[in-house]
Amino acid sequence: MKTNLLKCILLGITLVSYAQEKKESGKNYNVLLIMADDLSIDLNTFGNNQVKSPNIDALAQDGLLLQNAYCTVPLCGPSRVAILTGLSPDVTKTPGNKEYFRDEVPDAVTMPQLFKQHGYFSGRVGKIFHMGVPGDIGTSGLDDPRSWNTVVNPKGVDVALENKVVNFTPEMGLGSAAAYLAVPDTAALHTDELVAAETIQLLKEHKDKPFFIAAGFFRPHCPYIAPLRFFDLYPPDEINLPYNPPGDRDDIPGLARRVYKEDMGMTRQQQREIIRAYYASISFMDEQVGKVMRALEELGLKENTIVIFMSDHGYSLGQHGMWQKRNLFEEATNAPVIISVPGMEGASKRTTRIIEFTDIYPTIADVAGLKAPSYLQGRSFKVLLDDPEADFGGMAGTAVQRRVEKGTPGAGWQLRGRSLRTPGWRYTEWDKGKKGVELYDKISDPGEFDNLAKNETYRDTIRRLSKTLQQRVEENSILKDNKGIKTNK
């Protein structure tokens, strides 16, 4: 009783300190959103000691690292829409990369748009809403003009070098190919270097008024193009391949495996080369993050700016023979999220509480003192910024699309895979269980190797999780409060 009372008192003091610091500054908090593209939790600060990411690691020392943050769909377009609208893909009707959310919810207020409506300067550099990579680099892609006052679409030397890549999957487009290029030092700048430079310029131009600035880096999305010196950080003979036990794929349903052929047809040596290139791309992107963060501090903005660093989803690097995204295993669904807030007591915090990407928008609005739209489907986890061990009661749902063949009702790309992540379990259904079920004990089997779905011992667990999953799908398919937003139905 006394312990709980003390925790409540300390929590109250921390919340008051946030409010007091904001009041004394005489300014609203700025927001700097930094997004990486296709970045897994393969970062030093998340536990992969082989990856060199000193600048992202330093940011984690200043904030809260969320170890269990899950995307709504392990694919760029729908995941980014969920982050920026606070709505599930079932509401926005964005299962893939080709749909525009305003076709379904034309009056939705996005996160940057909310800040813009409150007098903030709202600017975007690079990829925030979906842009095809590499095809849309230098364009606005599926951007949302209502969200921004200013947009910048850099295009660097990497785009001109695409025809020189080493490509182990030439039958595939570069946006999903196992392809890379180590570029010798050149005076010409890569796209991500331009993203950093343009972001810094916006910070300089708008440092004297509230801003919401979003910097969207394109790496480590394939093709993995980065300066040679970042490849040199990773000796080829030191690259480790993931452990996959014999017969690992035997108990995985067919739809779960239907992404690419096993290991994309690569030899083990080719797999090592791709992982090396991916790591090099991470380190290159990390250097650009460092440039932006140093500028933030040099401009005197660090003490008044909320910083969010995150990826749009996770990424598989050979686990279960799968690569890239579009699957429902931990590697593709769990993504890095770090949030730093001015005045945070005892930074360098970590939380294992589960959050969903739809929780990002209401949280940032909450911390900034803005009232988020009532129809948002996520929840603010501001309490975790104060107490990482607070009871958030989280679980996360992730969906993935698979093609329904022509001549079949609902033909086309549909969200056919649904996965529920709880503290103890991962439970997945394909076509509502008709095309397969997966159950993994996350405590004893964190690698998700042993599918327990056909084990009679877990019949009650499966029944309970299936009911919870279906309830969540139904709840997330409708708006809880549609005041102020229209849907085209």
CB 325 within 8 A of CB 296: no
Query: Which of 19-23, 57-61, 117-121, 286-290 has the least mean pLDDT?
Result: 19-23
**264-294 pLDDT tens trace:** 999 999 999 999 999 999 999 999 999 999 9
Residue 8 has pLDDT above 60, yes or no: no
Report the pLDDT value the prediction gives residue 128, as an integer from 0 to 100. 99
For 87-113, the pLDDT digits (tens) are 999 999 999 999 999 999 999 999 999
- Residues contacting residue 57 through CB under 8 Å, at least 6 positions apart: 43, 44, 45
Q: Decide if 283 contacts 52 (C-beta within 8 A).
A: yes
Look at residue 311 and give its three-state secondary structure: strand
pLDDT band, residue 481 (cuts 50/70/90) = low
pLDDT at 71: 98
Above pLDDT 70, what percent of the chain? 90
Longest distance between any two alpha carbons in the chain, whole Å: 66
Structure tokens at 38: 């296709």
Each residue of 427-469: pLDDT tens digit? 999 999 999 999 999 999 999 999 999 999 999 999 999 999 9
Q: In CATH, what class is 28-390?
A: alpha beta
Summarize the confidence of residues 29-56 as an average pLDDT.
97
For every residue of 138-193, DSSP letters joined together read TS-TT--GGG-SEEE----HHHHTGGG-EES-TTS-GGGS-EEEEEPP-SSPPHHH
Predicted confidence (pLDDT) at residue 1 exceeds the cutoff of 70: no
Any idea which residue has 């699309």 for tokens? 401
pLDDT tens digits, 178-217: 999 999 988 899 999 999 999 999 999 999 999 999 999 9
Burial of 247 (0-12, 13-18, 19+ CB in 10 A): exposed
Looking at the DSSP assignment, which residues form a beta bridge with residue 311? 36
For CATH 3.40.720.10, list the domain ranges present in the chain.
Answer: 28-390
pLDDT digits (tens, 9 = 90+) for 310-346: 999 999 999 999 999 999 999 999 999 999 999 876 6
Helix, strand, coil percentages, rounded to 5, for the chain: 40, 20, 45
CB neighbours of residue 406 within 10 Å: 7
Residue (of 63, 338, 302) closest to 203 by Cα position: 302
- Say how far apart CA 366 and CA 376 lie, in whole Å: 12
Q: Report residue 259 as tokens.
A: 């992404």
402 band by pLDDT with thresholds 50, 70 and 90: confident
**Fold classification of 397-475 (topology level):** Arylsulfatase, C-terminal domain (3.30.1120)
Could you give the C-alpha distances from 288 to 62, 76, 426, in angstroms and in order?
18, 21, 35
Write down the mean pLDDT value for the chain: 92
**Alpha-carbon separation of residue 330 from 170, 457, 474 (angstroms):** 28, 23, 23
For the beta carbon of residue 178, count every other beta carbon within 10 angstroms: 27
Locate CATH 3.30.1120 in the chain.
Answer: 397-475
Condensed to tens digits (0 to 9), the pLDDT of residues 117-168 reads 999 999 999 999 999 999 999 999 999 999 999 999 999 999 999 999 999 9
Give the predicted TM-score (pTM) of the model. Answer: 0.92
Token reading at 415: 């969200």
